[in-house]
Amino acid sequence: MDWLFFGEISLAGLAMGGLYALIGLGFVIIYKATRVINFAIGEIMMFAAYLFLAFAGGMEMSPWVALPLAVLGGSLLGGVIEKIMIRPMLGESSISVVMVTIGIASILVGVVEMIWGADPQLLPSFLPRKPVFIGEMYLAPKIAYGFLIGAALLIVYLLYFRFSRGGVALRATASDQAAAYSMGINVRRVFNLAWVFGSLAASLAGVLVAATGGLSPQFGAIGLSVLVVVIVGGLDSIVGALIAGVFIGWLETVAGAYLGGEYRMPATFAVLAVILVFRPYGLFGTHEIERV
């Protein structure tokens, strides 16, 4: 066995998995606080990536100015969606809310096609192009630097949720909405904050993934692939999303390299099927017990 090849493949997979973890985090933050499964997460990623294209390409801003602007734009979009379209659905069945998010996804695709057209796009190059070697192992520079940027945001998030007032409010609301409300936490504001933070993580991942693989109005489909990550990790577990994201990224890449590209998805869905049979609430998800 070529261990160098295995090492290089694993590195590439782990780095890509880091980006999956970031998207998964966006999914989980929203679900954990609001119990809404956001099927529009991929399209929010896509929208942020198109914003980056407009800022860095069309308006010729520095990519390092365009990146935070695009990410902020994506997170703002998440906040607006929550306020205008999700909040009125409070108290409705979860299926209705899910359908609304699917509708939002379609609207975003339409908006993007109207503004930017249907042509596939490449983002202006902004990550270093010099090959990265870890020992003798090669790692594509876009993946390596994308992973580092994503990891930096993950660390900021983890610190924020652990130590800040907003983070504590978010965790408290996720644990028990009624108790949080009775303790004076503005639960509605927390809901909005969750959409803003979730969309922010997804937006950054969107720009980084689009910088690697290109962009088109169908880009949002990647959000559904990441659904596997959050189901495996547990829909309401941040740690689960991080671990499952990295694992699924690695598995997908190794399966693609050794079995062929057509086995990437079957490999991850096989894991999903096994997890659903033995731990339907995911590896780290909350096992809710209902007593009759």
Partner 1 sequence: MFKSILSKGRRLAGIGSIAAALVAAAPAVAQDKDPIVFGGSIPLSGVFAFAGVHLHAGLTDYTTWINSQGGINGHPVKYVMEDTGYEVDRSVAAFKKITGSNTVPVYYGDSTGFMKTIASELNSRGTTLMSGASFATALTDNEQYPNQFVPGPNYTQMFGIILEYIATQGKDGEKPTVAFVYSDTEFGKDPIENGKAKAAEMGIEVVEEIVTKPGSVDVSAEVLKMRRARPDFVVFHGYVLSPINEFMVQMRQMGLDTQFMGTFWSSDKLIINKMGEDADGYMGVMPYNYYDSAEGGPMLDALRATAEKSDPDAGYRPTGYMQGWFNAMVWTEVIKRTMDAGKELTAENMAESLASIKDWDTGGIIGIPVTAHDMSFPVGRIWRVNAKEGRYEPVSDWIHLD
Residue 261 near partner 1 by CB under 8 A: yes
CB of 265 to partner 1, least distance (A): 8
Cross-strand pairs, 133: 138
Residues 21/154, Cβ–Cβ less than 8 Å: yes
Decide if residue 183 touches partner 1 (CB under 8 A).
no
Residue numbers 55-94 binding partner 1 by CB under 8 A: 58-59
> By the 8 A CB rule, do 26 and 199 touch?
yes
Q: How far is the CB of 126 from partner 1 (least distance, A)?
A: 14
Q: Is 9 in the site for partner 1 (CB under 8 A)?
A: yes
- Do the beta carbons of residue 30 and residue 201 sit within 8 Å? no
From 11, 6, 5, 9, select the one nearest 147 (Cα to Cα): 11
Residue 262 sits in the site that holds partner 1 (CB under 8 A): yes
CB of 120 to partner 1, least distance (A): 4
State the maximum Cα–Cα separation within the chain, in Å, rounded to a whole number.
61
Interface with partner 1 (CB under 8 A), residue from 85, 98, 102, 138: 138
If binding is defined by CB under 8 A, does position 288 make contact with partner 1?
no
Smallest distance, Å, CB 66 to partner 1?
Answer: 14
Cα distance from N-terminal residue to C-terminal residue, the chain: 55
With 0-12 / 13-18 / 19 or more C-beta atoms within 10 angstroms meaning exposed / middle / buried, residue 182 is: exposed
Binding mask 209-248 for partner 1 (x = CB under 8 A): xx-xxxxxxxx-xx--------------------------
Rounded to a whole number of angstroms, the minimum distance from the CB of residue 275 to partner 1 is 22
- For residues 74 and 198, what is the distance between their CA atoms, to the nearest angstrom? 10
Q: Pick the binder of partner 1 from 140, 180, 185, 230 (CB under 8 A).
A: 140
On whether the CB atoms of residues 29 and 169 are closer than 8 A, the answer is no
Structure tokens at 265: 């998805």
Of 73, 21, 16, nearest to 199 (Cα)?
A: 73
**Minimum CB distance to partner 1, residue 228 (Å):** 14
Q: Which residues bind partner 1 (CB under 8 A)?
A: 2, 5, 8-9, 12-13, 16, 54, 58-59, 113-122, 129-131, 138-143, 209-210, 212-219, 221-222, 253-254, 256-257, 260-262, 264-265
